């Protein structure tokens, strides 16, 4: 079947749906010999509307096979599985739909011919409901709390009610796709299906016959003074929470509720306090940054196309502003954001940030000069490991005087603190036993330069000591005295002669 025939039948079937003739629309859809992913999705929607769940499942299977990135198809198949009471499969499809959103707050399918917006908070809402049906109320509650971070004003009431239900361990209503919303073919392609007379009617421009009628050429049309309308901003950009700002200077945090940023990072300011500190979001992390380190940024399609690479200013960073005692944003409408940001970050005047190097880097806040028992207890809870299985040291090589134990003079440990920061290294019993094996060295195939403080930057050809494997895509290593994580695809194991 040709593309034109497929297009014509697709348009005819959609017209039948608009006329509420669903049986005829389904008959036309099923007659299409090689349906694309969108047509398969439309067929699945009609089967789902008719409660033919087996046929709907097969149609959505076909749609996903043809386009594995179509999040709304995973969402619809998850609804189909939910109706069939196959809750584990339903949960899996909702998780795939959320992954296909790629961290965005929503996907607007209008440009693809579907008048529908798939919201991340609604996908998480359905994930929570599937977990609840499986009896996993704790995970259901976690998904609803996560949905609060992706909510929009229109969905706030829905998420809040679901949160109350999970706390009471009561089921709530499934969020479903509109029953008769379908993908429609491109209207410009459909317009081309009509036959056109490109030559038009003949006009007499010159004649040897006396007094012949002459109409001449059509007059020129006036030019449009205004240019084409500027492209609309993507729906996702408008839905982002907070005001975008560019970081001008590097900021090193001194307390656990502050956020490390470097010049060129783009952060979203949620609130600005009267003491010149701003509550911001960066890479899905929230924290405090001095507002005089930031510059407001206008995000638009035009500015993104014309904006070059921003360079850090040559001037020195401004003076760090003083923190007010118990700083809290004044906007009472964002209590959930405040709770998430400050629940583990309340610090006192004598608190100290302890940065711990493990298979991943993390930080804990403890009172300065705390005894060994308090320090090891805080770290063991973070790692969910017994304190007896953890070895702390002041250097990366846990040997000799660098090892910290219950018998260590704690004042000598805290004497290594710089201001309100102390850096330690941590190894578990399993890691210590594995250290007997020969160290593995890597060679950088490509240069890697990241603005994230946790990452390890290096140049092509650098020699890297492998410390641990985070997962199949990320490793942790040490290079030029620095420790951090980096992509596994950027390195290879060094030949034996280079080790």
Domains of the chain, start order: 3-167 (1.25.40.10), 240-300 (2.30.30.40), 351-434 (3.10.20.90), 441-498 (2.30.30.40)
**97, 123, 131, 481 from 136: Cα distances, Å:** 20, 17, 5, 45
Say how far apart CA 147 and CA 122 lie, in whole Å.
8
What per-residue confidence (pLDDT) applies to 338? 40
User: Between the CA of residue 49 and those of 52, 100, 179, 369, what are the distances in Å?
Assistant: 8, 25, 6, 66
Closest CA to 466 of 474, 478, 454: 478
> What stretches in the chain show pLDDT beneath 50?
214-221, 224-225, 232-239, 300-309, 326-348, 436, 498-499
Q: Which residue is associated with the tokens 């000799």?
A: 400
- The token duo for 201 is 């009617």
**Measured in whole angstroms, how far is the alpha carbon of residue 380 from the centre of its chain?**
30
Q: Give tens-digit pLDDT for 427-467.
A: 887 666 555 455 788 999 988 887 777 788 899 999 999 88
pLDDT tens, position by position, 353-400? 888 888 777 778 888 888 888 888 888 888 888 888 888 888 877 666
8 Å CB contact between 275 and 322: yes
Task: State the pLDDT at residue 331.
Answer: 41
Q: Are strands 243-247 and 277-282 parallel, antiparallel or unpaired?
A: unpaired
Cα(88)–Cα(75) distance, rounded to whole angstroms?
Answer: 14
- Which position has the token pair 């959103």? 101
- Whether the CB-CB separation of 139 and 88 falls below 8 Å is answered with no
**Beta strands per DSSP E along 76-127:** 106-108, 117-119
Q: Which residues contact 125 (CB under 8 A, 6 or more apart)?
A: 143, 144, 147, 158, 159, 162, 175
């Amino acid at each position: 079947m040709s593309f034109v025939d497929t297009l014509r039948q697709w348009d005819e079937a959609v017209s039948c749906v608009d006329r509420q003739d669903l049986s005829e629309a389904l008959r036309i859809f099923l007659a299409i010999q090689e349906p694309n992913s969108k047509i398969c999705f439309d067929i699945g929607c009609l089967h789902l509307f008719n409660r033919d769940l087996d046929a709907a499942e097969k149609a959505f299977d076909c749609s996903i096979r043809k386009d594995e990135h179509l999040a709304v198809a995973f969402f619809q198949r998850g609804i189909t599985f939910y109706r069939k009471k196959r809750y584990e499969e339903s949960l899996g499809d909702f998780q795939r739909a959320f992954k296909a959103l790629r961290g965005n707050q929503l996907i607007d399918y209008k440009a693809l011919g579907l008048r529908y917006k798939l919201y991340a908070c609604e996908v998480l809402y359905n994930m929570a409901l599937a977990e609840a049906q499986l009896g996993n109320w704790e995970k259901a509650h976690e998904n609803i709390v996560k949905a609060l971070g992706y909510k929009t004003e229109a969905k706030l009431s829905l998420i809040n009610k679901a949160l109350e239900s999970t706390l009471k361990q009561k089921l709530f209503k499934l969020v479903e796709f509109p029953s008769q919303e379908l993908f429609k073919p491109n209207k410009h392609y459909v317009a081309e299906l009509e036959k056109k007379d490109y030559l038009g009617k003949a006009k007499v421009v010159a004649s040897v016959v006396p007094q012949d009628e002459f109409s001449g050429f059509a007059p020129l049309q006036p030019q449009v003074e205004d240019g084409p309308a500027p492209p609309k901003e993507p729906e996702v950009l408008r839905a982002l929470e907070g005001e975008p700002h560019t970081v001008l200077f590097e900021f090193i945090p001194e307390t656990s509720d502050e956020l490390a940023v470097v010049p060129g990072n783009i952060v979203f300011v949620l609130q600005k306090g009267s003491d010149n500190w701003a509550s911001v979001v960066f890479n899905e992390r929230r924290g405090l940054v001095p507002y005089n380190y930031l510059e407001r940024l206008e995000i638009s399609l035009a500015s993104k196309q014309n904006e070059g690479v921003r360079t850090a200013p040559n001037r020195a960073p401004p003076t760090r502003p003083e923190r007010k005692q118990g700083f809290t944003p004044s906007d009472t409408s964002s209590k959930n954001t405040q709770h998430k940001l400050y629940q583990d970050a309340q610090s006192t005047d004598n608190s100290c940030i302890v940065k711990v190097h493990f298979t991943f880097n993390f930080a804990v806040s403890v009172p300065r000069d705390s005894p060994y028992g308090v320090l090891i207890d805080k770290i063991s809870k973070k790692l969910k490991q017994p304190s007896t299985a953890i070895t702390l040291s002041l250097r990366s090589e846990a040997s000799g005087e660098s090892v910290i134990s219950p018998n260590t003079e704690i004042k000598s440990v805290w004497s290594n603190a710089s201001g309100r920061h102390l850096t330690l290294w941590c190894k578990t019993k399993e890691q210590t036993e594995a250290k007997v094996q020969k160290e593995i060295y890597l060679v950088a195939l490509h240069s890697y330069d990241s603005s994230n403080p946790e990452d390890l930057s290096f140049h092509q050809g650098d020699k890297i000591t492998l410390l641990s494997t985070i997962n199949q895509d990320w490793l942790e290593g040490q290079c030029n005295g620095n420790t951090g994580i980096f992509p596994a695809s950027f390195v290879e194991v060094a030949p034996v002669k280079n080790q």
